[in-house]
Chain A
């Protein structure tokens, strides 16, 4: 017994150490690559400049916001006051009136959107360091949303490079889409519908569980659909 203890305790320790090291390596190596990929690298390459610039660029050139070269759909974190989701309804007598009201509403909301984004941009500049981490994480989720929307988007044959439609998407904290509104039409009904359908088909998005991060970036955000990779 004593001999067995003497002869085997060393090897047993070594074996246990080796397995612990293997488990630790597995644990360390299993999770981070995904996290890193999600958090830092991909989003920066694809989106960071766009997102930062959007709030400032938006207010003035309202009809057609000039965009630097961008990946097809772009999103901006945005806040606006709660608002029931308006579905375009066909009512002949009220149509003109309604359209006008909608237009006003839209203008107002966009202005507010811009205001809010602008304020947020200012705030973010003030406390840049504190927000850096949050921003990076929001980016990773944005990238996830972007991928999901792109995967679900089937563009109509009438789509052309340079067309753009902006959608306002409203989510609830579980990530389910509860509202999609076309904020800025591309001029082609089919294109607008395809964009809206892409969001509706996605149904749910992966959103951060932290309430403040969700409220800040994902409760309501706008999506810009603009194909740039088409042949025609």
Chain B
């Protein structure tokens, strides 16, 4: 009659290496869930910020006013930084007398590109970790399982009377490692796919915005340049 084995007894009875593997996987699972939650909240916040800023930007507000208003803040969202990066360059270069439209626009684009890159890095942070957990933890779990099964069969070889009951607990405890690997990997893979799609979508929106901004500033530069002459 099999005893009722709790999963915790299984974990406690496993060999040291298998326990190490399990601890690693538990840690990976906890950290990856932490990343998932963090990214989730973060990307949701970024999306609402983009919405808000776009609404404000297209509401017909004067860009200079918007710039001075934002200059006071120090916790700017990504899309605001893109705007600031572009507009600051524009302001600085446009104030110089005799600046060419092309050179102004080059500066503006440089400023925008820097902000865009920073934003992309900020949005995509930790996604590499999720990808790593998602792709490696099944293997790590499998390693623990193989090791545990190896041991339980080895001990079976030393027995005079081999019964299923003498190997079953070992195999069962070894399989816990695979289960944990999958438990860690599945959310990480789903999270990675979902968040990388989300980051891409947000970046597209911010890039589209930056293009619009460039063309607006280009018009402004063109309007300004001939005027002094």
Binding site for B on A (CB under 8 A): 7-8, 10-12, 14-16, 18-19, 22, 26-27, 30-31, 34-35, 144, 148, 205-206
Contact = CB atoms under 8 A, between A and B. Distances in A.
A16 B30 contact: yes
A11 B4 contact: no
Given A14-B33, A18-B33, A22-B183, 10 more contacts: A10-B41, A11-B33, A12-B34, A15-B37, A19-B33, A27-B6, A30-B6, A31-B4, A31-B6, A35-B4
B38 A19 contact: no
Q: Which size bracket describes the interface of B in this complex?
A: 10 to 19
B29 interface: yes
B4 to A, nearest CB: 5
Nearest to A32: B4
B38 A7 contact: yes
Contact of B7 (A12, A18, A30, A34): A30
Given A8-B38, A11-B38, A11-B41, A19 B4 contact: no
Nearest to B37: A11
Interface string B30-50: 110111111001100000000
Contacts of B58: none
Contacts of B6: 27, 30-31
Shortest 3 CB-CB distances between A and B: which pairs?
A: A206-B1, A11-B37, A15-B33
A148 B34 CA distance: 49
A144 B1 CA distance: 7
Contacts of A205: 1
A27 B5 CA distance: 11
Contact of A148 (B1, B30, B183): B1
Nearest to A175: B1
B38 A26 contact: no
Interface string B19-35: 00000001001110111
